[in-house]
């Protein structure tokens, strides 16, 4: 079954202690859609300006991603994020964000997008996430990602979203902020009370925890010897996860979610090995299968 991904389609300028990479293809929806496309037919909903490079459009197409929902605003400026990493790649700061065409964007779903069964509301304002949900007809499973910024500037809209989705994905500091609780286990219980049946807390290189009706699942991250650029790892994780889930022909969501999380972790590991989408786009399905098996061996006891 197919996947719809909405989020930012961006230009990212990324600085690490070793190098600087201006105007890479980035954005939550770009990373998530490419990750999902390894497993399931994927549709992209986003907006870019006239400055969006054509080779980036071709990259989506090479991955078989439907771009009929990618609006192009002539003369407009594409969302542009500038970030800088410290020597410890877990520490990143945003140097500048130019909203450009996202600022006044109100998404319109092409007709055939409305019935997509698996939907990823990747990181973007909860107003936009709610407006996409308003246009969908009975999706089977909806995951939303969010970030601290929206808790700071759009909390009521985020709280309105939570009862409308099946699964919320957020990182551990964001979970602490959302429910004011330092303990992941009690934070998970509090987030369920805000609406979603499933909650996934991401802990970067330490993996993630899923909480659902059947209890907890503790998922490892794929251990990497070298991280080049972790930008988009969270988006690749959730995109890979939902793509895998959408591709399953048997089993319930509950039973397939655990394997889906492991596949998401593996796609995220490839994302970290190159700048922007450079490594992810070179990844093969065989490489993904190999790392999934390695991770299964490493985590079994």
Binding site for ligand AMP (CB under 6 A): 8, 10, 12, 26-28, 81, 97, 123-124, 149, 231-235
153/218 with CB nearer ligand AMP: 153
Cβ 77 to ligand AMP shortest distance, Å: 14
Cβ 235 to ligand AMP shortest distance, Å: 4
170/247 with CB nearer ligand AMP: 170
196/264 with CB nearer ligand AMP: 264
Cβ 56 to ligand AMP shortest distance, Å: 12
Cβ 26 to ligand AMP shortest distance, Å: 3
71/235 with CB nearer ligand AMP: 235
Pairing of strands 92-98, 20-26: unpaired
27/100 with CB nearer ligand AMP: 27
Cβ 225 to ligand AMP shortest distance, Å: 20
């Amino acid at each position: 079954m197919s996947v719809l991904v909405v989020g930012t389609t961006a230009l990212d300028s990324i600085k690490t202690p070793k190098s600087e990479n201006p105007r890479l293809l980035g954005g939550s929806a770009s990373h998530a859609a490419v990750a999902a496309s390894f497993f399931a037919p994927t549709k992209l909903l986003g907006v870019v300006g006239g400055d969006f490079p054509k080779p980036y459009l071709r990259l989506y197409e090479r991955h078989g991603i439907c771009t009929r929902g990618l609006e192009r605003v002539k003369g407009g400026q594409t969302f542009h994020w500038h970030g800088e990493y410290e020597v410890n790649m877990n520490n990143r700061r945003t140097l500048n964000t130019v909203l450009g065409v996202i600022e006044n964007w109100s998404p319109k779903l092409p007709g055939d997008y409305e019935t997509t069964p698996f939907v990823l509301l990747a990181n973007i304002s909860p107003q936009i996430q709610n407006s996409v949900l308003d246009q969908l007809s009975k999706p089977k499973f909806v995951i939303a990602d969010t970030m601290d910024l929206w808790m700071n500037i759009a909390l009521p809209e985020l709280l309105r979203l939570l009862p409308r989705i099946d699964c919320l994905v957020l990182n551990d500091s964001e979970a602490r902020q959302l429910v004011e609780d330092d303990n992941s286990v009690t934070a998970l219980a509090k987030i369920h009370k805000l609406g979603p049946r499933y909650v996934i807390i991401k802990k970067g290189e330490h993996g993630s925890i899923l909480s659902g009706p059947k209890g907890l699942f503790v998922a490892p991250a794929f251990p990497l010897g070298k991280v080049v650029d972790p930008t988009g790892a969270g988006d690749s994780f959730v995109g890979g996860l939902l793509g895998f889930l959408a591709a399953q022909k048997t089993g319930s969501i509950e039973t397939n979610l655990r394997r889906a999380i492991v596949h998401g972790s593996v796609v995220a590991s490839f994302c970290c090995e190159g700048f922007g989408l450079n490594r992810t786009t070179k990844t093969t399905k065989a490489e993904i299968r190999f790392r999934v098996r390695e991770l299964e061996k490493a985590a079994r006891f």
